[in-house]
Amino acid sequence: MIEEGNRKGLIEKLIPRVLKATLWGALTYVFVYYLPMLIYPMDLLPLEYSQLFYLFVGITVFFTVVTKLFSGTILEHAFGIARALIMIIYFIAVFDGGIISLTMPMMGTTVNLAVDLKAFLTILILVNLLGIAKSMFQATKFLAKKVETSQLSVG
Amino acid sequence: MKPAIRALGIATTIIWIFLIAFSVTAVYSVMNLGIGFGEAQFFPSSEGVVLSLPFFINNSGYYDIYELNITTRIKDSNGTFLTQSKTFVPSVSTGSNIESAHNISIELSDVMERIELIFSDSFFVFDTFVTLNFAHIVPVQLSMNMTVPWGAPFSDVSVGEISVDSFNSTHVRVVVPLSFENHSFFDITGTMQLEMYNDVDELVTSGETSLDVQSQSTYNEQVDMYLSLADVSKLTESGRVHLIFETSMFTVEQWIPYD
């Protein structure tokens, strides 16, 4: 009887989380994939860059879903830190350390194009580092609140 | 802790908005950048020729372009450096349209130093580097190399069968058929001196003729030289013809054997 009540409570708790996570996942997908595709068709990008874009969409949607799914727990902040770290690695890999090099045929000759995105990459890394700092503060706050609550209940 | 979290949240949001806005507007600006090239033209200059490559940039994006620098280095077919030209455009602001030309000066003295370029077709290697700064934040570098054919002004110079016929009671006429093709982009106007040497390198006779050969055309003429009857014995069946081409741009010489 108690077990059945627990399961019911768990399902009641889980369903809104799953719905919330699904909704956020769908919204993120629209903003990260659908809208950019309307503005800039990915067919114009070289194949390796379009694949990296799909990877970016995958990472963003996945972490949005899991963060919302575990919201209100310490895992929410852990996933926030993990997302920021993965994003830093991803951006460094995609921007090739800050310089994107492309070779393309043009007017019967081969053109080498190098775009220096070091400043842009630095800002991207910084914003993710700020995200890590924010998640760490939130995790500390969450743990402090938990300890406080448990001490109050013991007292 | 709460104010710190809030401050970090606000800062992160502002930076993300800035990054997304910049990315979208930068992509839009690049897509709306009109760049075009006109037809390359050769112009004569005091020192040689100028290859002029007109271009235009129509910046209808949101960001200015700064420090557009076009550098072209020309090397010959052996990779030896010939000349370098630079074009600098300080800025192309948003909504503006600039028309300019990248002028590559080729000094004929540099070309004349390589005698093979006068008599044989070859090619030049153009290494072009374009650097610019997009929106003060994104430096862009573009490089390409092109092979440009070079047509020799005196290509395939050849001397035909030399004939001797009587001219008057004191002289004979030596007729030298001479041909070459002007593969260059310029017309050849000047004179050509011929000196005929026998098999012991003794000057037999000489003559001069005027030249007016259009670009991409063939010169095929007979040059008449006169020899006194007393010197006819100097004429041998084999020897060399010394050709001296003199134009307003250069003077070159060539030895052609005959037999």
Q: Locate A100 and state its tokens.
A: 């994107």
**Alpha carbon B48 to chain centroid distance?**
10
CA distance B143 to B258: 49
- ipTM of predicted assembly, 2 dp: 0.82
A35 in contact with chain B, both atoms CB, cutoff 8 A? no
Vertex A56 angle, CA A54 and A57, to 5°: 65
Convert the pLDDT of each residue in B220-254 to its tens digit.
Answer: 999 999 988 888 888 888 899 999 999 877 788 99
* Best residue of A87, A113, A122 to probe chain B, by most B CBs closer than 10 Å: A113
What are B's interface residues with A at a Cβ cutoff of 8 A? 1-2, 4-5, 8-9, 11-12, 15-16, 18-19, 22, 24, 27-28, 31, 137-146
Cβ–Cβ of B1/A127 closer than 8 Å? no
Q: What is the pLDDT of residues B33-56, one digit of tens each?
A: 888 888 877 777 777 778 888 999
User: Cα(B24)–Cα(A40) distance, rounded to whole angstroms?
Assistant: 9
Lookup: tokens for A96? 């090739």
Separation of alpha carbons B60 and B50, rounded Å: 31
pLDDT digits (tens, 9 = 90+) for A81-137: 999 999 999 999 999 889 988 888 877 788 899 999 999 999 999 999 999 999 999
Put simply, whether A126 touches B (Cβ < 8 Å) is yes
What's the pLDDT at B184? 86
Q: What pLDDT score does B217 carry?
A: 94
Residue whose tokens read 């081409």:
B245
- Does residue B92 contact residue B59 with C-beta atoms inside 8 Å? yes
Which residue, B166, B182, B164, B183, is CA-closest to B174?
B164
Which residue of B lies nearest to A129 if distances are taken between CA atoms?
A: B12
Lowest mean pLDDT among A42-56, B23-37, B90-104, B215-229: A42-56
CA distance B70 to B66: 12
* Cα distance between residue B4 and residue B97, in whole Å: 48
Chain B interface includes A114 (CB < 8 A): yes
Cα–Cα distance for residue pair A75/B191, rounded to 1 Å: 92
Taking CA–CA distances from B140, the nearest residue in chain A reads: A115
**Burial environment of residue B133 by CB neighbours within 10 A (0 to 12, 13 to 18, 19 or more):** middle
For A116, the closest of B1, B138, B146 (CB atoms) is B138
Could you tell me the end-to-end alpha-carbon distance of chain A, in angstroms, rounded to an integer? Answer: 31
* pLDDT above 70 coverage of chain B, percent: 100
Q: Could you tell me if B26 and B138 are in contact, meaning their C-beta atoms sit under 8 angstroms apart?
A: yes
Structure tokens at A146: 């938990």
Q: Write the CB contacts of A100 (distance below 8 Å, at least 6 apart in sequence).
A: A114, A115, A117
* Phi–psi pair at B155, nearest 5 degrees: -85, 140
Which among B162, B159, B135 is positioned nearest to B64, based on CA atoms?
Answer: B135
State the pLDDT confidence band at B115, using cuts at 50, 70 and 90.
Answer: confident
Q: Name the residue facing A110 among B18, B140, B144 (closest C-beta).
A: B144
Give the CA angle between residues A67, A68, A69 to the nearest 5°: 90
Instruction: Tell me how far apart the alpha carbons of residues A152 and B252 are, in angstroms, rounded to a whole number.
Output: 104
Residue type, B241: V
Query: Which residues of chain B neighbour A138 with C-beta distances below 8 Å?
Result: 5
Strand runs labelled E in B24-121: 33-37, 41-44, 48-59, 65-75, 81-92, 97-107
Interface probe, candidates B66, B138, B147, chain A, greatest A C-beta count within 10 A: B138
